[in-house]
Each structure stands twice: as C-alpha cells, then as structure tokens.
Amino acid sequence: MTNEKNNSLNEEIEIDDTSKVELTEEETVESVFDEAEKTEINPIDEQLKEIEQLNHKLEESENRYLRLQADFDNFRRRSRLDQEASEKYRAQKLITDLLPSLDNFERAMNIEADNEQSKSLLQGMDMVYRSLLDALKKEGVEQIESVGKEFDPHQHHAVMQGEDENYGSNIVTEEFQKGYLLKDRVIRPAMVKVNQ
C-alpha cells in the first residue's frame, strides 16, 4: 500500500522527447506555485506601471483642459469688455471730428453784430450751436470745467504759466480751447494757462 502511494505521488514530467524526470508531489506543487508567482507578479507589476502611466496622462489631460477652459473664459471676458467699450464709445470718432466745428462756431459767435441782419445771423448760429451741444450731451459728451479749478494733467493741457494774485498755486486762470469728456474718457484736453 505504501508503494502504491509513493507510485501515485510520483509523477513523470517530460523535459524533452528523449528524457523523463520523476518529481515528488511536493516538488510538483512548488514548481507550479513558482511558475504561477512568476507569471502573476510580472503582469501585476506591468499593470501597476501601466495604471500609473495612464493616471499621469489623465492628470496632464485634465490640467491641459483646465488651462484651455481658463483661456477661453478670459477670451470671452475680453471680448465682452471690448464690445461694451465699443458700444460705449461708438461716437468718439464722429465727436472728435465735430469738435473743430464747435470751436469755429464759438469764434464766430464772439463777433459783435452791427445791424439787424448780423444779429439774426448770430442768433441762427447760436441755435445751431446749441442743438449740436444738445446732441453731443445725449451721447454723453461734457465740457471740461477749467477756469478756477486745480490743474489736472489728465484733463488739462498747460500751454502757459502766469502769476495771478487772485488765484492760488496750480490753479487754471485762463482757458484757450475747451476740453471735452465722452462719458469717462477725455477725448480732448482743455488748453489752459496755469498759475504758478
């Protein structure tokens, strides 16, 4: 009976076609586990490396996506701001072109009228001038107040300096050409004389 057990526990494994090796049951089980460990560990390590690489690629893709989304949001915000500014200052070129005409109207209205014809002509010019100013006010144009105000380099263009005891230092004493604002933007600074 013991011989039969030993015979049943022993197995023959073919290495080549010509030779045979006998292994005990313990050796057979160990070799099977060794082979299984070798085949399972290598694929598990490779799978872990592959998972790590895929996680790294996923993280890079997410970062790229977030940067792209932020760039798009910034582009959309800039476009909206540009469109708002364009709408807000749409009449700036036209107003800038009209300002010399307003200056000429003011000069022409400073002429003294001798007779009734010239008075009526000046009155008609005054009406046209005022209607132009009203149209500009509707668009958001305002004249810059200068005389008696403190000199502001953003709103005033100093072309002269003088000394006047009636005004304090750095105060505008005379205005040579009117300045204009379009909403909150200076479209032409006032040309002024500033007290020292």
Residues 14 and 103 in one domain: no
pTM greater than 0.85 (yes/no): no
What is the tally of structural domains in the chain?
A: 2
pLDDT of residue 36: 54
Residues 22 and 95 in one domain: no
pLDDT of residue 6: 46
Report pLDDT digits (tens) over 15-51: 444 444 454 555 565 665 566 555 555 678 888 899 9
Residues 74 and 134 in one domain: no
| Residue 110 banded pLDDT, cuts 50, 70, 90 | confident
Q: In whole angstroms, give the CA distance from residue 154 to residue 188.
A: 10
Report pLDDT digits (tens) over 93-108: 889 999 999 999 888 8
Q: Average the pLDDT over each of 32-36, 151-155, 175-179 and give the range with the smallest value.
A: 32-36
**Domain CATH code at residue 164:** 2.30.22.10
Domain boundary among 87, 102, 132: 87
Q: Is the pLDDT of residue 191 over 90?
A: yes
Q: CA of 81: how far to CAs of 67, 70, 91, 184, in Å? A: 21, 16, 17, 15
| Residue 1 banded pLDDT, cuts 50, 70, 90 | very low
Q: In whole angstroms, give the CA distance from residue 48 to residue 10.
A: 39
pLDDT of residue 166: 83
Residues 77 and 96 in one domain: no
Residues 116 and 21 in one domain: no
Residues 163 and 96 in one domain: yes
Domain that holds residue 72: 2-87
pLDDT of residue 19: 44
Q: In whole angstroms, give the CA distance from residue 103 to residue 97.
A: 11
Report pLDDT digits (tens) over 48-88: 899 999 999 999 999 999 999 999 999 999 999 999 888 88
Question: What's the mean pLDDT in 144-161?
Answer: 91
pLDDT of residue 37: 57
Residues 60 and 120 in one domain: no
Question: What's the mean pLDDT in 134-142?
Answer: 91
Domain boundary among 63, 87, 111: 87
Q: In whole angstroms, give the CA distance from residue 91 to residue 32.
A: 89
Q: What contacts 83, CB < 8 A, 6 or more positions away?
A: none
pLDDT of residue 8: 44
Residues 33 and 103 in one domain: no
Domain boundary among 44, 70, 87: 87
Residues 7 and 77 in one domain: yes
